[in-house]
Amino acid sequence: MLVECDEGRLLFDCGFGTRTLAARLRAIGVEPESIDGCLLTHEHSDHIKGAGAASRRWGWGIYATPATAKAPELEKATVHTFEPGMTIEFPRMTVAATATPHDADQSVGFVVTSRGTGARAGLFYDMGYVTRGMAKACDSLDILVLESNHDDDMLRHGPYAPWLQKRIAGRYGHLSNPEAARFARAMVTKEMNHLVLAHLSEQCNTPSVALDCTRTAIKGTQFQGTLTAATQDAVVGPFMPGMRKAEPPTQYSLF
């Protein structure tokens, strides 16, 4: 995910190689060299495998917890470490890290706050359940990017082995659609402009199923923004805060 405040740009996680990442950035007119740094949520390969190469190629600073910084992919990278619970300061924004329950060492989610406008975006995915700390961190957001990983029935009857099903559905796995929907209902406000469902499983979920579940849950709340499901094979956005009526995002072609 790319977050931009004024002229500052930060990337959150980097699970693609540099060629794929450059193509996705090119689709939205962003030069990789213009990114100030890359912050990592945890050490799993789909979030980290391109970070070291991107850092060397484009001169990014890498920011990670001490445990994440030990990942082999970051062996040759210069990594600035932070502890869960800390706030990392950047010229145009601050980034507060909150511990998340996942089967990774020192996994975190982030809340980004613009210094110029005070707009707040919460980025939370790869977690088995919602903690009080996460709920507190997500109070009064303009944008919430939230994991809605799997449909329970599709997981149960899908192609994954029993041990993997148990891991995904466990307390240190991933949020199901109903779990994400309940958290979304508790967090949405009249002022929130965008709720984005992320990290959808290709095998055990679909955007329409995830959207239907959350749409039903937030019906009757004060939420007046847009509800969107991020896709695996396209760039979606931008998600702009502070607008009276949020504009629907665009899906950008990679070719």
- Please give the chain's pLDDT, 255 residues, in tens: 999 999 899 999 999 999 999 999 999 999 999 999 999 999 999 999 999 999 999 999 999 999 999 999 998 888 999 999 999 999 999 999 999 999 999 999 999 999 999 999 999 999 999 999 999 999 999 999 999 999 999 999 999 999 999 999 999 999 999 999 999 999 999 999 999 999 999 999 999 999 999 999 999 999 999 999 998 888 999 999 986 566 778 887 665
Q: Which of 22, 24, 28, 23 is nearest to 4 (CA)?
A: 28
Q: How many other C-beta atoms lie within 10 A of the C-beta of residue 157? A: 11
Cα(250)–Cα(221) distance, integer angstroms: 25
CB 40 within 8 A of CB 61: no
Cα(223)–Cα(195) distance, integer angstroms: 9
Q: How many other C-beta atoms lie within 10 A of the C-beta of residue 155? A: 23
Query: What pLDDT, on the 0 to 100 scale, is given for residue 245?
Result: 63
Query: What pLDDT, on the 0 to 100 scale, is given for residue 230?
Result: 94
Q: Which of 230, 127, 237, 138 is nearest to 189 (CA)?
A: 138
Cα(110)–Cα(188) distance, integer angstroms: 17
Which pTM was predicted? 0.95
| Residue position matching structure tokens 């001490």 | 66
CB 133 within 8 A of CB 99: yes
Cα(142)–Cα(244) distance, integer angstroms: 11
238 upstream amide cis, omega within 30 of 0: yes
